[in-house]
Amino acid sequence: KKYVYLFREGSADMKNLLGGKGANLAEMTNIGLNVPQGFTITTEACLEYYDCGEQLPGGLWEQILPAIQDVERASGKRFGDPENPLLVSVRSGARVSMPGMMDTILNLGLNEGTASGVSKATGNERFAFDCYRRFIQMFGDVVLGIASHKFENILEEVKEKQGVTFDSELSPESLKGLVVKFKALVKQETGVPFPDDPYEQLKEAITAVFKSWNNHRAIVYRKANGIPDSYGTAVNVQSMVFGNMGNDSGTGVAFTRNPSTGEKHLYGEYLMNAQGEDVVAGIRTPLSIDSLQNDNPEIYRQFSEIAKNLENHYKNMQDIEFTIEKGRLYILQTRNGKCTISAAIRIAVELCQEGLITKEEAVERIDPHQLEKLLHRRIDDAAKLDVVATGLPASPGAASGKIIFSADEAEKLGQAGEKVILVGTETTPDDIHGMLAAQGILTSRGGMTSHAAVVARHMGKPAVCGCDALKINLADKIFMIGDDAYPEGTEITIDGATGRVIRGTVPMKDPDLSGEFQKILEWSDGIRKLQVMANADNPPDAAKAREFGAQGIGLCRTEHMFMDPARIPIVQKMILAQTLPEREAALAELLPMQEGDFYGILKAMHGLPVTIRLLDPPLHEFLPNGEELALEIQELKLTANLQDEKVQKEIKDKEVLLKKVRGLQEMNPMLGHRGCRLGISYPEIYAMQSRAIFKAAARLVKEGVDVRPHVKIPLVIHHKELEILRKQTEEIAQEIIKTEGVKINYQIGTMIEVPRAALTADEIAPFAEFFSFGTNDLTQTVLGFSRDDAEGKFLPDYLNQNILANNPFAVLDRDGVGRIMKICVDLGRKANPGIKIGICGEHGGDPSSIEFCQEINLDYVSCSPFRVPIARLGAAQAAL
Ligand code: ADP
Ligand code: MG
Ligand code: MG
C-alpha cells in the first residue's frame, strides 16, 4: 500500500488522503510555486497506526527512507550529515483544517554535529544554535511531553542574565548555553538523554503527530465542529527554510482579503528574523503586511502576485503562510480563509463580480445559519465586557437598559423613552405589554421554549432565559448574582446570541444589511423554487417580514390579538357565557376589534396573501391560573370587609370564574379542546372571526387595496370538520361580498398537524385550497412527545445517547414526520392537483428542514420575519 506521496505526486483534490495542508502543498508544488520540497504520509497510515495498537504500520518506514532521499537530492543537503545537513519540519494536517489543534515540529535533524555543520555552512553560529534550542524545546514539548513553560522559564533566565528583552537579541554564546540547559532539563524530566539520531527523531516525531490526533484539545475541537474521529491526520515532512537567518529573513501569514470586512486588500502580519509561530506567539509585535511594501518592495510584489494567483486558482479567499530566507520567498501553506459572515458575503459577491465564481457558487458558499447574526444589533467585537452571568441564548440580538421587574413599570418607562430590560423569574401572557416596551428580556428560569423565549423570538427582541445565577427578590426589587447586588434601575446588557449578561452598557453595532447582503438574497431569489412567507401576527411584524422579502404571511395567529389587556375581560366574558345569546353579545364586542386587527395586517401586506389561522389554543389559556385565583379568594375572605357589597360581588365573580377555570382544566391540553374542535363546539367564535376577516377585506377593497385573505382552519383530523367549518366561512364570505358589492380574492385551507389528517389527505384535500403543515404540532403528535416536557426533561438523554441525531423540534425529523408529510403531499395532490402545500412553524426557518421541503416539492415555507432571509438563502441552496 502506498503510504507516502512526494509533493509532486499529489494534488488539491486528494485532501481525504493527504490532508488539507498536504494536498495544497502538492497543488502549489505542481503549479510551480516556490514550496520547500517534501512528502506527505497519508491519513490512512494514521488510521492504521491506531488499528495496529499505536504502532507505525508495517512497510511505512521503508517508504519514508526513499522519500527522504528524494528531498535530499532536491535540496543538495543530506539528512544527518554534519557537513551539509538537511533539516525538516514534521507537520500535522487533517482533511479539514483544525488550526493549532495538532502539533508541528521544526528544525528536526539537529544534534551537536549537524548544528556545527549548519553553523559552518551558513557562517552563522547564532542562527544554528537558535534553531537547535527551538528544536529541543518543540520536540521536548510535543514528543516528550515536557511542559513548555519549563523551557520558557530557562529562556527567561538566560535573557535576563544577558540583559536583553527579545529572543532575537540573544548572543551565540547564550544560545549555546541554552541548548545545554535544555538538554539537561530533558534528561532530568525523562530520565534519558535527548535523542541525537535524526532518523530516531523523525520516527518519534511522526508518531507524535499521529498521537496528536487524539490529544484532548483536538478531540474537543472535533466534537464542537462535527468532524468525525475517523478522519485521521496526515503528516507532512518538509525541508526547512529559515526566517531566522538575519534581517533579510522573516516569516509571516496573510489573507488575500480582510477576514473581518471582506475588503480586497492583503491583510496580515510578518516578523523579520523570526521562525514559524513567532508571529502568532506574541514574542515580538509583528508588523502589518502593508509595511513590507516599504521594507522590501520586491518581496511584497512577489507575494501579492502569488496571493492573486492562488486566489484565482482556488477561486476563494486564501490564508497563506510564507517565509523569506535571505531575500528569497517561500510559500509554506495555503487554505481557504476563515472569515466573519459579513466578510464571507462581501467576498462571495465580489468573487462573482470578478468573474471567478458563478452566482450559484456564491450563494452556495454562505452559511445560512450565520446569517441571523447580521439581522440583529450586536455587541461590538472590540468592546471590553464585564460578563457577570450566562444563561440560555434564547433570542438573538443584544440590548442594554435599566433593570425593571414589573411589566407595568417597563411599559411606563418605555413610553417615556427610557431603555429597560425586563427581568423576572419567568414571563406570562400578562407581561406582553412590558415585553413590548422593553429592549430585552432576562429570566432566571425557563428554557428555550419558555414563554419569554418564544415571545421574544417572535418579537425579534433579545432574550436571555434560564439564567439561574440570578437570585431575584421581587419584594425588594433587586437581584443578586453571588454577592453582587443589582437593584432596579441598574444598567445591564444582555446578549441573546450567546446568553451573556454584562454589567453596564457596551458599544453595539447595528444590523449590517449591506448592498452585498441584498445581492446574495437577490441571487438566491433567482435560484430558489420554494416561496418564502412569514409568520406574523401584527402590522409591525408584517412590515418587518416584507422588508426582509417575505412573499406573504403563511401564518397569522389570532390568539395574541385576544391577549391584549384591554380585550381579555371581553374574551373572558365570552368564555364564561352561560347561554348562546350571552356569548354572542361578547363576540359582538370583539368583532370590531378583530376587524381592526385584520384591516391592519391585510393592508400592510397589500398585494400579498395573508394566511389567517382561526382560534387555536384551548380556552383556559385566556383565563387566570386556578391556583392563584383560589388563593385570591381565600385572601379576600380572610382580610376584606365581608359586609361590603362590592367585596361580596368580587368574591362571587371570582368563584364563578374559578369554577369555570376548573371546568376547563384538561389532563392533556395539547390533545384537548383546541383547534377546530373549538369551532365545532362553538361555531359562533369562528363565525365572528370569519366575519371580521371579510369585513376588513371588503373595506380595503373599497379603498382600492389588493387584499388576499387565506383562512386557515387548525388541527383538522377529519374531512367532515373541514367540510362543516369551510361551509360556514364561505357563507359568511359570500354574504359580505354580496352586501358590500365587492370582489374578494380569498382561499380556505387547513393545517396538517396530526397523523390522521396527513393519512386521509385525499379525503380532506377536496375541501382545501391549501395545506399548511404545522410541524411543531405534527412533530408532537407523530413522536408522541410533548414539546415542553421533552426539551426540558428527556430529550437531552436522547441526544446524548445518539438515539436522535437532532432536536426534532428544531430540525425536521425526516424519517418519521417527514415520511408522513410525504404521504400527505402525494395523497393531497392526487385528490386536488391544484392544492398549494407549505410548512409553517420553527422548521420553516431551518436550512436542513427547508432542504427537505424542497425534496418533497412543497410550494412554500413560512417562518418568523427574522428568519426570512435565512429561508430565502436556504431555499436557494436546497434548489441547487
Ligand atoms: P499549523 O497547522 O498549526 O499552522 P504548521 O504545520 O502550518 O502548523 O506549522 C507551524 C508554523 O511553522 C507555520 O508558521 C509554518 O510556516 C512553519 N513551518 C512549517 N514548516 C516549515 C518549514 N519547512 N520551513 C519553515 N517554516 C515552517
Ligand atoms: Mg499552518
Ligand atoms: Mg398547531
Enumerate the active-site residues.
451, 840
Q: Calculate how far, in angstroms, residue 98's C-alpha sits from the geometric centre of ligand 2.
A: 10
Whether the predicted pLDDT of 280 surpasses 80: no
Residue 339: its pLDDT value, please?
86
Average pLDDT on 804-816 reads: 93
Whether the predicted pLDDT of 72 surpasses 70: yes
Whether the predicted pLDDT of 100 surpasses 80: no
- Residue 144 pLDDT level (bands cut at 50, 70, 90): very high
Whether the predicted pLDDT of 279 surpasses 80: no
- The verdict on 300 and 408 lying in the same domain is no
Number of domains in the chain: 5
- Residue 451 pLDDT level (bands cut at 50, 70, 90): confident
pTM tops 0.90: no
Tell which wins on pLDDT, 295 or 833: 833
Average pLDDT on 340-349 reads: 92
Residue 749 CB burial class (10 angstroms; 0-12, 13-18, ≥19): buried
Closest ligand to Cα 235: 1
Any domain includes 70: yes
Average pLDDT on 818-835 reads: 98
**Whose CA is closest to atom 22 on ligand 1?**
240
Residue 738 CB burial class (10 angstroms; 0-12, 13-18, ≥19): exposed
**Whose CA is closest to atom 15 on ligand 1?**
276
Any domain includes 362: no
Residue 139: its pLDDT value, please?
96
In DSSP terms, which residues pair with 837 in a beta bridge? Answer: 771
- Residue 564 pLDDT level (bands cut at 50, 70, 90): confident
Whether the predicted pLDDT of 283 surpasses 70: no
Looking from the CA of residue 243, the nearest atom of ligand 1 is: 25
- Residue 482 pLDDT level (bands cut at 50, 70, 90): very high
Whether the predicted pLDDT of 717 surpasses 90: yes
Residue 661: its pLDDT value, please?
87
For cell 441598574, name the residue: 490
Closest ligand to Cα 323: 1
Any domain includes 349: no
Tell which wins on pLDDT, 27 or 659: 27
72 neighbors 35 (Cβ within 8 angstroms):
no
Report which residue type is found at 520: I
Distance CA 659, CA 654 (A): 9
Pocket test for ligand 1, best of 333, 334, 335, 338 (most atoms within 8 A of CB): 333
Looking from the CA of residue 238, the nearest atom of ligand 1 is: 23
**Whose CA is closest to atom 11 on ligand 1?**
276
Q: For the chain, what is the mean pLDDT? A: 93
Whether the predicted pLDDT of 449 surpasses 70: no
Any domain includes 596: yes
Average pLDDT on 404-423 reads: 92
Distance CA 835, CA 818 (A): 19
Q: What is the CATH number of the domain that holds 101?
A: 3.30.1490.20
- The verdict on 599 and 646 lying in the same domain is no
Q: Calculate how far, in angstroms, residue 90's C-alpha sits from the geometric centre of ligand 1.
A: 9
Q: What is the CATH number of the domain that holds 281?
A: 3.30.470.20
The angle that helices 847-855 and 868-879 make with each other, rounded to 10 degrees, is 50
Any domain includes 270: yes
Whether the predicted pLDDT of 522 surpasses 70: yes
Any domain includes 335: yes
**Whose CA is closest to atom 17 on ligand 1?**
276
Q: Where among 509, 538, 555 does a domain terminate? A: 509
Closest ligand to Cα 233: 1
Closest ligand to Cα 253: 1
Q: Calculate how far, in angstroms, residue 279's C-alpha sits from the geometric centre of ligand 1.
A: 11
- The verdict on 473 and 439 lying in the same domain is yes
Q: Which of 459-463, 760-764, 776-780 has the lowest mean pLDDT?
A: 459-463
Cell numbers found for residue 307 = 496571493
- The verdict on 563 and 601 lying in the same domain is yes
Distance CA 622, CA 564 (A): 10
Q: Calculate how far, in angstroms, residue 455's C-alpha sits from the geometric centre of ligand 3.
A: 16
Distance CA 585, CA 132 (A): 93
Residue 565: its pLDDT value, please?
80
Q: Calculate how far, in angstroms, residue 697's C-alpha sits from the geometric centre of ligand 3.
A: 25
Percent of the chain with pLDDT over 70: 99
Ion ligand 2 nearby residues (CB, 5 A):
333
- Residue 166 pLDDT level (bands cut at 50, 70, 90): confident
Looking from the CA of residue 36, the nearest atom of ligand 1 is: 23
Looking from the CA of residue 275, the nearest atom of ligand 1 is: 26
865 neighbors 536 (Cβ within 8 angstroms):
yes
| Reduced 3-state DSSP string for 761-824 | HHHHHHHCCEEEEEHHHHHHHHHCCCHHHHHHHHHHHHHHCCCCCCCCCCCCCHHHHHHHHHHH
Q: Calculate how far, in angstroms, residue 212's C-alpha sits from the geometric centre of ligand 1.
A: 16
Kindly write down the DSSP assignment for every residue of 277-337, as one continuous string. Answer: THHHHTSSPPEEGGGHHHH-HHHHHHHHHHHHHHHHHHTS-EEEEEEEETTEEEEEEEEEP
- The verdict on 33 and 96 lying in the same domain is yes
In DSSP terms, which residues pair with 387 in a beta bridge? Answer: 502
Q: Calculate how far, in angstroms, residue 842's C-alpha sits from the geometric centre of ligand 2.
A: 40
- The verdict on 866 and 829 lying in the same domain is yes
Any domain includes 519: no
Residue 286: its pLDDT value, please?
85
Closest ligand to Cα 269: 1
Ligand 1 binding residues, C-beta < 6 A: 36, 89, 91, 100, 104, 106, 238, 240-241, 276-277, 321, 323, 332-333
Three-state SS at 286: coil
Residue 656: its pLDDT value, please?
86
First to last CA, the chain: 38
Q: Given phi > 0 = left and psi -120 to 50 = alpha, else beta, which region is 464?
A: beta
Tell which wins on pLDDT, 448 or 521: 521
Pocket test for ligand 1, best of 68, 332, 335, 338 (most atoms within 8 A of CB): 332
- Residue 266 pLDDT level (bands cut at 50, 70, 90): very high
- The verdict on 635 and 692 lying in the same domain is no
Looking from the CA of residue 101, the nearest atom of ligand 1 is: 3
| Domain residue limits at 326 | 250-339
492 neighbors 389 (Cβ within 8 angstroms):
no
- The verdict on 297 and 201 lying in the same domain is no
Percent of the chain with pLDDT over 90: 74
Average pLDDT on 265-269 reads: 93
Q: Which of 442-451, 527-536, 802-811 has the lowest mean pLDDT?
A: 442-451
847 neighbors 861 (Cβ within 8 angstroms):
no
Q: Calculate how far, in angstroms, residue 776's C-alpha sits from the geometric centre of ligand 3.
A: 7
Looking from the CA of residue 88, the nearest atom of ligand 1 is: 23
**Whose CA is closest to atom 19 on ligand 1?**
89
Whether the predicted pLDDT of 513 surpasses 80: no
Average pLDDT on 112-121 reads: 94
Longest dimension (CA), the chain: 113
Average pLDDT on 564-593 reads: 91
For the stretch 202-240, pLDDT in tens is 999 999 999 999 988 888 888 878 889 899 999 999 999
825 neighbors 837 (Cβ within 8 angstroms):
yes
**Whose CA is closest to atom 8 on ligand 1?**
104
For the stretch 526-557, pLDDT in tens is 999 999 999 999 998 999 899 999 999 999 99
Closest ligand to Cα 714: 3
Cell numbers found for residue 349 = 459577491
Phi then psi for residue 686, to 5 deg, are -65, -35
Residue 281: its pLDDT value, please?
66
Radius of gyration of the chain (CA): 34
How far does Cα 591 stand from its chain's mean position? 42
Whether the predicted pLDDT of 866 surpasses 70: yes
- The verdict on 600 and 636 lying in the same domain is no
In DSSP terms, which residues pair with 91 in a beta bridge? Answer: 104, 236
Tell which wins on pLDDT, 703 or 628: 703
Any domain includes 264: yes
- Residue 712 pLDDT level (bands cut at 50, 70, 90): very high
- The verdict on 474 and 566 lying in the same domain is no
**Whose CA is closest to atom 1 on ligand 1?**
100
Tell which wins on pLDDT, 313 or 639: 313
Whether the predicted pLDDT of 99 surpasses 90: no
Looking from the CA of residue 332, the nearest atom of ligand 1 is: 16
Average pLDDT on 490-498 reads: 93
Distance CA 171, CA 167 (A): 9
ipTM of the complex: 0.96
Residue 578: its pLDDT value, please?
85
Q: Calculate how far, in angstroms, residue 99's C-alpha sits from the geometric centre of ligand 2.
A: 7
- The verdict on 478 and 580 lying in the same domain is no
Q: Calculate how far, in angstroms, residue 328's C-alpha sits from the geometric centre of ligand 1.
A: 17
Task: Check residue 669 and report its DSSP letter.
Answer: G
Q: Which of 17-31, 338-352, 353-367, 448-462 has the lowest mean pLDDT?
A: 448-462
- The verdict on 67 and 203 lying in the same domain is yes
